[in-house]
Each structure stands twice: as structure tokens, then as C-alpha cells.
Amino acid sequence: MFYGPGLQKNLLFVGSFIDQGIVAKFNVCTCFSINKQGIIVVRGARERNGLYKLEILIVANEILCVDS
């Protein structure tokens, strides 16, 4: 994750997930990422500006619901 000054949010690079074996799937309205065990670890919805707002569900093998 990277912070962009003035953005007020963090940016996540999908490539860093893929490098760890996590599958990322996107369509017009939603996205989600699945770990090697088949568990959804991130899900999100596309906003009007074209960016996806993500909710991180699992971090370091712990279930963690975070509202972004």
C-alpha cells in the first residue's frame, strides 16, 4: 500500500497481491481477491470516479473487518 499526498486514502497495487499468490478479479461494478485457501481477503465496489473502494477482510491470517 502506498499513500498519495493529498489523496486522503492509501493506494493498493494489485501486482503485490498477485506476487503473493492472491487472485484478483474485477468487473464493471465490483472486485475481490482470493487467497490460496480460497478465502476472500479483499472486496470492493467501483465508485463514480472509476476507482475501487476496498474493504480488507483478512490481514496476516486474522479475520479483520475494516471499513475503508
Number of domains into which the chain is organized: 1
Cell matching residue 31: 472486485
Per-residue pLDDT tens over the stretch 22-31: 899 999 999 9
Residue 33 inside a domain? The answer is yes
The per-residue pLDDT for range 8-43, each reduced to its tens digit, is 666 677 787 788 888 999 999 999 999 888 888 889
Look up cell 479475520; give the residue: 63
3-class DSSP state of 59 = strand
**Residue 7 domain boundaries:** 2-63
Decide: pTM greater than 0.75: no
- Among left, alpha and beta (phi > 0; psi -120 to 50; other), residue 36 is alpha
Q: Is residue 43 part of a domain?
A: yes
pLDDT at 7: 63
In which band, very low, low, confident or very high, does the pLDDT at 67 lie, cut at 50, 70 and 90? very low
- Domain membership flag for residue 54: yes
